[in-house]
Amino acid sequence: MLLRHIRYLLAVAEHRNFTRAAEALHVSQPTLSQQIKQLEETLGAPLLDRSGRSVSLTDAGQAYVRFARLALQDLQAGTRAMHDVQDLSRGSLRLAMTPTFTAYLIGPLLARFNALYPGITVSVEELTQDRMEAALTEDLLDIGIGFTGEHLPDIACEALFAETLSVVVSASQPAMDAPSWLEQPMVLLNPGFATRRYIDDYCRQQGVKPHIAMEANSISAIIEIVRHTALATILPSAIATAHSGLRAVAISPALPQRTVALLSRQGAYRSAACTAFVELIKAKPNV
């Protein structure tokens, strides 16, 4: 049964006349009559009483038309919703990122996205890269922001920009030479974070042992600790730029840059909302 059959039946029921219904539908009367007969044969019951001067619905026709009209309304609403999604007036985006991005990237990025597409509902999660990739493979996320490197076999990786790590101190602290960062007591992310493992690898390669006074599992906590104490930390340089009261100090020798990347499931369908987000971050990552 085609949607066309239902539209034809509803037109005849409204006009109570095959000729006027055919004119309204811009089809010939024989074509209209044939389509209605096909519908009646498919349903196994006469829908129209053609015996009078005007056409009327049979009991079966009245019962069927009530539901057919509701179904057509729902389908038309579905078509409008589909167009709404395609023109980005509505939709949803499931996004995840590793924790350091919440401190400098996500705010400006989602502010721009929301200004452009206020009808899109965005769900944001802060996850480790391992958990993010697992969620992507299970289709629990649309897109992730992480780093290049080794990934699960089903994960696609698109490089975005390079991220530089620096020593970050309170802006109220005296100026510090690059080599003297080792003398600073530090607050670092705990070893469960990829950034901390990156720092530990660097220190081992350089044969140095930082003075770790505190550890935390929250970027925002570390930022506040650094703001209000003499402790230093190692975080992306962009965090010092994004937050008042902080200053970045270059490390010597510098930590290798990390490449920030978009992560997604190989071959996954990208919704209009997801495609718009990807285009936005590629065009202007705000770092």
Residue 287: pLDDT band (50, 70, 90) is: very low
Q: What is the Cα–Cα distance from 264 to 144, expressed in whole angstroms?
A: 6
The verdict on 50 and 119 lying in the same domain is no
| CATH code for the domain of 23 | 1.10.10.10
Of 47, 62, 86, which residue is a domain's last? 86
The verdict on 234 and 269 lying in the same domain is no
Name the token pair of 117: 């597409």
Classify residue 127 by its DSSP letter.
Answer: -
- Predicted confidence (pLDDT) at residue 102 exceeds the cutoff of 70: yes
Name the token pair of 240: 């010092």
The verdict on 235 and 123 lying in the same domain is no
The verdict on 151 and 271 lying in the same domain is yes
The verdict on 216 and 233 lying in the same domain is yes
The verdict on 169 and 157 lying in the same domain is no
| CATH code for the domain of 270 | 3.40.190.10
Name the token pair of 46: 């006469």
The verdict on 135 and 269 lying in the same domain is yes
How many separate domains does the chain show? Answer: 3
Mean pLDDT of the chain: 89
The verdict on 145 and 12 lying in the same domain is no
The whole-number average pLDDT for the span 175-203 is 82
| CATH code for the domain of 184 | 3.40.190.290
* Residue with tokens 């930022």, as numbered in its chain: 223
The whole-number average pLDDT for the span 118-128 is 94
Please compute, for residue 169, the number of CA atoms within 13 A of its CA located in the half-sphere on the CB side: 22
Residue 178 identity (one-letter amino acid): A
Q: What is the Cα–Cα distance from 242 to 240, expressed in whole angstroms?
A: 6
The verdict on 250 and 263 lying in the same domain is no
Q: Which domain does 130 fall in, by range?
A: 91-161+259-283
The verdict on 109 and 150 lying in the same domain is yes
The verdict on 177 and 128 lying in the same domain is no
Name the token pair of 147: 């780093």
**Nearest residue to 168 via CA among 213, 218, 226, 122:** 226
By CB neighbour count within 10 A (0-12 exposed, 13-18 middle, 19+ buried), where does 68 fall?
A: buried
- Predicted confidence (pLDDT) at residue 80 exceeds the cutoff of 70: no
Q: Could you read off the pLDDT of 132-172 as tens digits, one per residue?
A: 999 999 888 999 999 998 999 999 999 999 999 989 999 98
Contact present, 226 and 168 (Cβ < 8 Å): yes
pLDDT the model gives residue 66: 92
Between the alpha carbon of residue 168 and those of residues 92, 202, 251, the distances in Å are: 36, 16, 10
The verdict on 107 and 221 lying in the same domain is no
